[in-house]
Amino acid sequence: MKLVVGHLYPDYLNIYADRGNIAVLTRRAAWRGIELTVEPIGVGDRVRPGAHDLLYVGGGQDREQALIAPDLAAKGDAIKEAVAGGAALLAVCGGYQLLGRFYRERSGEQLPGVGLFPHQTLAGERRMIGDVLLECELEPGARRTLAGFENHAGRTYLDEGAEPLGRVVAGFGNDGESGYEGCRVGPAIGTYLHGPLLPRNPWLADWLLARAREHKGADPTPFEELPDELEREAHAVSAQRARDRGGRF
Amino acid sequence: MRPRLPLVAGVAAARAAAGLSRLVGTGGGTTVPGKLLTLLDPTALDRLAARLPRGSALVSATNGKTTTAAMAAEVLSPRMRLAHNRSGANLVSGVTSALLATRDAELGLFEVDEAALAEVARRIRPRALCLGNLFRDQLDRYGELELVAERWRGAVAELAAGAALVVNGDDPQVGDLARKHPNALVFGLDDPRHAAPALPHAADSKWCLVCGRPYVYAAAYVGHLGAYRCENCGHARPRLDVVARGIELDGLEGVEFDLHTPDGERHVRLRVPGLYNVYNALGAAALALSLGATLDDVHGGLARFSAAFGRFERIVIGDKTVLVLLVKNPAGANEAVRTLVAGGPPRLAVLALNDAIADGRDVSWIWDVDFEPLLDGLERLVVTGERAAELALRCKYAGFPESAIEVVGDVGAALDRGLELTPAGGGLVVLPTYTAMLRLRKIVTERGYVRPYWERAA
């Protein structure tokens, strides 16, 4: 089987080692006999309807984000259609912010967003930096944890009734106050957690691959488990870091 | 307001603290005395620096500031007595401690942390400032690259008009500072034979400072450092004053080049390898020339220079040699890997990753390092440090066989394991982050293989 990942702006949005997330998706697919190809989508490129089983948007510094924001907003309808059609999506940090309605800088200047995630982000005075631990329940009854690192000045406020990715066990999360982190819309996940996110949280990589496979219309038999000892160890250390030194106001 | 302690009393107390720090074995007294003196007298740094008859010179960069300052020290020390923070304690406390430790110093030569530069410069009022490069580094500590660049612009704006500014013209953000100061000396490389085939994966500063379009590189040498030009608005590398041409890399042994300066030309042979050390040598040469050194001083000093603290340091242990290459961010680690592989790819390596504040608590940067050329040649890999498992994952997801990775949490045990796997007479390559490097040095010092770092100041 073949899956296609559309990687948005890899030249601009790559600040927190986003290629680690791509490497994990690629290898874990390959270990299940799935050939995963990654197609870069740059400024001016079209997001072709139905072409991607998974979309990935990473994080950038303010300057890079400002350079691509208008182009990303112009791709907004195509991205929302892809997700409505069942394509999986992972957006990290800057990508997560720009897939909301807007990002307002402290100067009052506003970067337009895509409006996929029901949230808006306002730049704050203090950066929220540190290790984070979340508890998630993406499938009813299946509680899992996510461990990562956050570094953002933006405070992201979810709309009433929006579904967060998880509850903050330790760390700041979306805005440092609500106790929630990230956002989920069907098969689309947005989060501030980098680290990168997927190597130490392989269950989320497998969840995204499962959604991508469904988008392809394949038989939804669960993936076989992989020997994830190193991944579990890395997760445990990262989770402990969050408990010991995760950020709070 | 608290009455100000006479400087002389504070100095005496702080010097006693340095002795105490070494006596109780907590370190070399490279930061404690400065911290103490600053507590006793918050203006101590300003006042100590003001006493230096020849003033001070500051060196900052993401990568290479310790080596650049050490090279400049080698050039300048035959002519004048230096106060120099050679062990890399580069915050206000470290600079203050270095001033305390050297009586009768004539010139202060200090490497300064990128984020601390503006404050140190404001207080010391340097007569020369050397700025090497800006790469993404410890984003959890420094924030975004642009924030550091903004602080540097502020420091340059406050520089006395007569002070010398030495900048790396090959770095767009840094080179541009030359346009903002009347007395600037620009250094860079001019030898496209050594250009990388493409910008690395995680290149920074690749968009035009002025208009945001991508730069076109006639040659990219190290990361985003090179001969760049924006075809949209014409923003380009400034004219170079101090230039390396005719560069010949000699594996791990060293590098030779023709040094072109406004004062003339010399052929330079360095005993440290890699293009990044050519950049360090150019920065040191330009800085020393701006401080009154002759071209012969520069030539002699660079030829004498061996290695700075933990940077490409060779430690002999029995009949084996440990080669230590500090790694701390993607750009620096990429160059360490490139140099190692060019010198004959090792078959065994020890990688050590800690996540203390000085290492960066965020370890995601290891995924931006191009470890692949190193992994291609390795038969076995020992990973260690507090985040050893993350390193193991980095290599596993690069396709390196998991069965060839050994995870040894303790740095000392990993060194022993590495030595055990090294054949008699062979060399062992170790790439540690900063605190892992300090730990490693402590272990080999305790075993009597190297002198403690505070004794090397002599």
Which candidate from A62, A130, A237 shows the least CB-CB separation from B146?
A62
Task: Please provide the average confidence, as pLDDT, over all residues in chain A.
Answer: 95
A240 CB within 8 Å of a chain B CB: no
Does the CB of A23 have a partner CB in chain B at under 8 Å? yes
What residues of A are in contact with residue B368 (Cβ under 8 Å)? Answer: 14, 17, 19
Annotated catalytic residue: which of A52, A93, A136, A152? A93
Residue in B145, B207, B387 nearest the CB of A67: B207
| Residue of chain B nearest A200, judged by CA positions | B390
> Which of A14, A24, A130 lies nearest to residue B397, judging by beta carbons?
A24
| C-alpha distances in Å from residue A2, one per residue of A213, A217, B393 | 9, 11, 25
Minimum Cα–Cα distance from B367: chain A residue: A17
**Chain A residue with Cα closest to B407:** A230
Distances in whole angstroms, Cα of residue A30 to Cα of each of A1, A5, A237: 10, 13, 27
> B243 to chain A, minimum CA–CA distance in Å?
30
Task: Compute and round to an integer the Cα radius of gyration of chain B.
Answer: 22
CB contact under 8 A, A20 and B202: no
Q: Do B366 and A17 touch (CB under 8 A)?
A: yes
Picking from A75-79, A107-111, B21-25, B30-34, which range would have the lowest pLDDT averaged per residue? B21-25
Instruction: Give the per-residue pLDDT at B248.
Output: 96
User: Given this model, what pLDDT does residue B453 score?
Assistant: 55
Chain A residues inside the 8 Å CB shell of B144:
61-63
Is the pLDDT score of B362 beyond 50? yes
Residues of chain A in contact with residue B389, where contact means CB-CB under 8 angstroms, are 230, 233-234, 237
Burial label for B423, CB within 10 Å (0-12, 13-18, 19+), is exposed
Residue A157: predicted pLDDT: 98
User: Nearest residue on chain B to A231, judged by CA atoms?
Assistant: B393
Asked whether the beta carbons of residue B392 and residue A230 sit closer than 8 angstroms, the reply is yes
A127 and B CB contact within 8 Å: yes
pLDDT at B25 (0 to 100): 52
- The verdict on a CB contact (< 8 Å) between B367 and A20 is yes
Average pLDDT estimate for A42-66: 93
Residue A63 has pLDDT above 90, yes or no: no
pLDDT at B458: 32
> In the predicted model, what is the mean pLDDT of chain B?
90
Q: How confident is the model at residue B3 (pLDDT cuts 50, 70, 90)?
A: low
C-alpha–C-alpha distance, residues A68 and B212, integer Å: 10
Residue A150 in contact with partner chain B when CB distance is under 8 A: no
Distance between CA atoms of residues A185 and A205, nearest Å: 17
Residue B23 has pLDDT above 60, yes or no: no
For residues B243 and B255, what is the distance between their CA atoms, to the nearest angstrom?
Answer: 15
What's the average model confidence in pLDDT over A204-211?
Answer: 97
**Chains A and B: how many Cβ contacts under 8 Å?**
90
pLDDT (average), residues B187-196: 95
CA of A228 vs chain B CAs: smallest distance (Å): 10
DSSP B97-165: HHHHH-TT-SEEEEE--TTTHHHHHHHH--SEEEE-------HHHH--HHHHHHHHHHHHHHS-TTSEE
Judged by a CB distance cut-off of 8 A, whether residue A71 touches chain B is no
**Residue A40 bridge partners (DSSP):** A7
Q: Which of A186-200, B108-122, B227-241, B311-325 has the lowest mean pLDDT?
A: B311-325
- Contact with chain B for residue A234, Cβ under 8 A: yes
* CA of A40 vs chain B CAs: smallest distance (Å): 13
User: Average of pLDDT values for B129-136?
Assistant: 95
Comparing alpha-carbon positions, the chain B residue that sits nearest to A245 is: B361
Q: Which residues of B touch A196 (CB under 8 A)?
A: 364, 367
Q: What is the DSSP letter of B204?
A: -
Cβ separation of B390 and A234 shorter than 8 Å? yes
Of the partner residues B355, B393, B399, the one whose CB lies closest to the CB of residue A199? B393
Q: What is the mean pLDDT of residues B278-292?
A: 97
Instruction: Check residue A173 and give its pLDDT.
Output: 97
Tokens 């995963």 found at: A36
Query: If pLDDT is split at 50, 70 and 90, which confidence band does A168 have?
Result: very high
pLDDT at B24: 53
What's the mean pLDDT in B21-45? 72
Give the per-residue pLDDT at A195: 86
User: In the prediction, which pLDDT does B85 show?
Assistant: 92
Q: Which tens digit of pLDDT belongs to each residue from A128-166?
A: 999 999 999 999 999 999 999 999 999 999 999 999 999
List residues of chain B with CB under 8 Å from any CB of chain A. 136, 139-140, 143-146, 201-202, 206-207, 212, 355, 361-368, 386-387, 389-390, 392-394, 396-399, 402, 407
> Testing the interface with A: which of B390, B405, B408 to mutate, by most A Cβ within 10 A?
B390
Q: Comparing C-alpha atoms, which of B45, B49, B48 is closest to residue B57?
A: B49
A19 touches chain B (CB under 8 A): yes
Share of chain B above pLDDT 70, in %: 94
In the predicted model, is pLDDT for residue B15 greater than 80? no
Cβ-Cβ contacts under 8 Å, B212 against chain A:
63, 67
> Is A152 labeled as catalytic in the residue annotation?
no
A194 is catalytic: yes
User: What is the pLDDT at residue B20?
Assistant: 58
CA distance to B23, B247, B254, B304, per residue, from B250 (Å): 42, 10, 5, 17
pLDDT reported for residue B456 = 46
Q: What are all long-range contacts of B420-424, with beta carbons under 8 Å and residues at least 24 apart?
A: B421/B348, B421/B380, B421/B382, B422/B320, B422/B348, B424/B319, B424/B320
What is the least distance, in Å, from the CA of A49 to any CA of chain B? 28
pLDDT at B452: 60
Region B183-203: what's the mean pLDDT?
90
Across the range B109-117, mean pLDDT stands at 95
pTM of the model: 0.88
ipTM over 0.85: yes
Q: Do B389 and A61 touch (CB under 8 A)?
A: no
Q: Which of B23-27, B101-105, B409-413, B450-454 has the lowest mean pLDDT?
A: B23-27
- Nearest residue, CB atoms, B201 vs list A19, A61, A238: A19
Between CA B190 and CA B194 the distance in angstroms is 9
Q: Is A241 on the interface with B (CB under 8 A)?
A: yes
Q: How many Cα neighbours within 13 Å face the side chain of B118?
A: 12
From A52, A152, A194, A215, active-site residue: A194
Residue of B nearest to A15 (CA): B202
Q: For the segment A80-102, what is each residue's pLDDT rounded down to a tens digit?
A: 999 999 999 999 999 999 999 99
Q: In this complex, which of A61, A129, A199 lies closest to B145 when CB atoms are compared?
A: A61
Site from B393, B402, B406, B407 to mutate, A interface, most A CB atoms within 10 angstroms: B393
Given this model, what pLDDT does residue A105 score? 87
